[in-house]
Structure 1
Amino acid sequence: MSRELRRFYRSLAEDTDPGGLVSPALVRRHADRRARRRAAGVLAVAALVSATAVGTRFVLTAGPATPGGPPASPPATTAPARSASSVSSAPAPSALTGSRVGSPSGPVSSAVTASSGRPPTSIPDAAFFTLAVANETGLHTTFGSGPTVPQLCGAHPGDSGVVQRKGRALAFRYADTPKGYVPDGSYRHTITIYRAGRADDALRELREAVRSCPVQESPDTPGVTSRQRLLGGAGYGDESVLFELRRADPPGQGDAAGGGEVRLVRAIRLGDVVTVLWEQGWEGTSSDRPQLDADSRRAVDALREWLR
């Protein structure tokens, strides 16, 4: 502080209350403190401004660049929408066979003959019909192997595509024959399970075999011929074949009319199953058509009951 200022301050202090003025040193100390506070405040503001500027520059530098417009892309080809009809028309597996219902080459189907949806693979005794009470003889039915149809010039119709076959011999009597008399006839009765679609082939082969063998020499009686022909009489099962074998009596046997013996054979198809009733007579008797028709109906009923 200059001399003039000290002198002026001393004279001022003398004119006033000495306790009302602070000393010059204290005034300088307060002034220096205020100056330092002001300088610190200025420095703090400057530092804050500097930090803000640096941070803004950092954010602008590190941030992602503003994306440009989307790159040009070739025009997209829109696939045609699948209609509901095209989806629903796709082939589905089947519940019943585990296989497909259709194929590119055409529909595929298999005959179903059992309630489970699969063709049967075994034949129980219950699949064979029982005689009417009036036709029972009291003789036991015997099951065993044997031919299905008579010989037809060496043909073997229905022998291919077989899954299982079972046969029996069954004697019967007419309703007006008293009990205790000898039987009036007998059947060679067989049931055959075929692979799917082969049962109808078996009946077709049987028709062709009968047509191709109108006359043949009797296999069990040399010198005697038999004649074969198809007969009408459909309406059994899904389809059926009926034919007869007529054999002349050997010389010196039979009646004067020479009617000979007549044997009737009927094959009936039901799905993939074929049953054959071959009436073989009893001690030279001939077949009776009404009896065969009645037993054919019973045979079909038994098959339906088994396959239900």
Structure 2
Amino acid sequence: MSRDLTRLYQALAADTDAWELPAPNLLRRRVDRRVRNRVTLGALAAAVLVGGTAVGTRVLLAGPDTPPGPPAVTPSPAPLSPSSSPTAPPSSSGSPTTPAPPRTSGAPTASARPTAATPTSIPDRAFFALPAANDTGAGSQFVPGPVLPALCAAWPGEAQVVVRRARTLPFKLAGAPADAVPAGSYRHSVTVYRAGRADDALRELRQAVRDCPRQVAPDAPGVTTTQRLLDGAGYGEESVLFETRTPYRDANGDPVGGDEVHLVRAVRVGDVVTVLWEQGWESSSTDRAQFEADSRRATEAIRNWLS
């Protein structure tokens, strides 16, 4: 071997001895780290490729005239300054929102009927109490039966009734002896109508009286009864007053001259109507002053109940 070749081997050995080989466990960690870095870089590249493909697909499907959809994250709007006011959002159709028309004054329409809760029961306090001077001591009896005279077989407002109670109440006139027979008897009823329908019931009642000016008396064949509206406002929110007239008859049913007159008043307070029908007692006619006083008591009882 030549001297030059020997010298080169000696230099190579010196350089190799200067580098220390790493331990096996350190070498394994370096290899594992390189493998993880390669996997992470591969996953990121795949995600970028999938995202680009999805965006490209949306653009192709949307067509040349349709812009791509909005970004997934919408930036928050800038806060309003104290002097600025918020504006109404546009409608989903893209057309400007049309403001509601202003309310106009005038008579209420059918669509503007009240929507308050309607009572579904009627307590005893909805009925008035007779003053001691008019109390016969017999009390009242809550019994079924008609609450209005037969008006040519018309029964106004019955289709709109929610609940009703009716009683029979005899009374006497002030100053009458304690053992005197009653001066008359009331058929007194309280009816709750569907919301906003009580005024319809009174309108139907007026029309029924107009449509039935006379008829054969239900309890006396051959005897004619007449009905007519009377002026008698000033009770409740509105009221209807009418009379019925039947000729006086003897025991055989024959007319003896004059008429037996009875008054009927219906008073509306909200969706409630109270009816006072004076039916007489042994062919007596209605005492107008007593009837007016008891009409006021009946109206006040309804108002106190509903208040």
Q: Report the TM range for the smaller structure's normalisation.
A: 0.5 to 0.7
TM-score by length of 1: 0.64
Distance, in Å, in 1 between the alignment partners of 2:45 and 2:222 is 114
Match runs of 1:115-194 below 5 Å:
118-194=117-193
Q: CA RMSD in A?
A: 4.2
CA 1:107/1:161 → structure 2, altered by over 3 Å: closer, same or farther? closer
Distance, in Å, in 2 between the alignment partners of 1:81 and 1:253 is 81
Distance, in Å, in 2 between the alignment partners of 1:265 and 1:224 is 20
Match among 3, 16, 27 for residue 39 of structure 1? 16
1:61-112 CA-to-partner distances (Å, cap 9, x unmatched) read 85749999x979643699x9348x96997xxxxxxxxxxxxxxxx9565443
> Greater Rg, structure 1 or structure 2?
1
Distance, in Å, in 2 between the alignment partners of 1:214 and 1:156 is 15
Distance, in Å, in 2 between the alignment partners of 1:108 and 1:218 is 41
Q: Report the counterpart of residue 67 of structure 2 in structure 1.
A: 75
Q: CA deviation at 1:304?
A: 2.3
Match runs of 1:285-296 below 5 Å:
285-296=284-295
CA 1:242/1:107 → structure 2, altered by over 3 Å: closer, same or farther? closer
Say whether the 8 Å CA contact 2:248–2:283 is kept in structure 1. Answer: no
Deviates more, 1:191-200 or 1:278-287: 191-200
Distance, in Å, in 2 between the alignment partners of 1:42 and 1:213 is 130
Say whether the 8 Å CA contact 1:224–1:250 is kept in structure 2. Answer: no
Distance, in Å, in 1 between the alignment partners of 2:98 and 2:135 is 61
Q: CA deviation at 1:280?
A: 1.0
Distance, in Å, in 2 between the alignment partners of 1:141 and 1:261 is 24
Q: CA deviation at 1:302?
A: 1.5
Runs of 4+ in 1 over 6 A off after TM superposition: 65-68, 85-89
Q: CA deviation at 1:40?
A: 4.1
Q: Percent of aligned pairs with the same residue?
A: 51
Distance, in Å, in 2 between the alignment partners of 1:261 and 1:185 is 12
TM-score by length of 2: 0.65
Q: Report the counterpart of residue 280 of structure 1 in structure 2.
A: 279
Distance, in Å, in 1 between the alignment partners of 2:201 and 2:189 is 14
Question: Unmatched 5+ residue regions in structure 1?
Answer: 3-27, 45-50, 90-105, 113-117
Number of corresponding residues: 246
Distance, in Å, in 1 between the alignment partners of 2:249 and 2:125 is 40
Q: CA deviation at 1:259?
A: 3.6
Say whether the 8 Å CA contact 1:169–1:186 is kept in structure 2. Answer: yes
Q: CA deviation at 1:179?
A: 3.2
Distance, in Å, in 1 between the alignment partners of 2:275 and 2:204 is 14
Q: CA deviation at 1:180?
A: 3.1
Q: CA deviation at 1:43?
A: 9.8
Q: Which amino acid aligns with 1:231?
A: L
CA 1:289/1:107 → structure 2, altered by over 3 Å: closer, same or farther? same
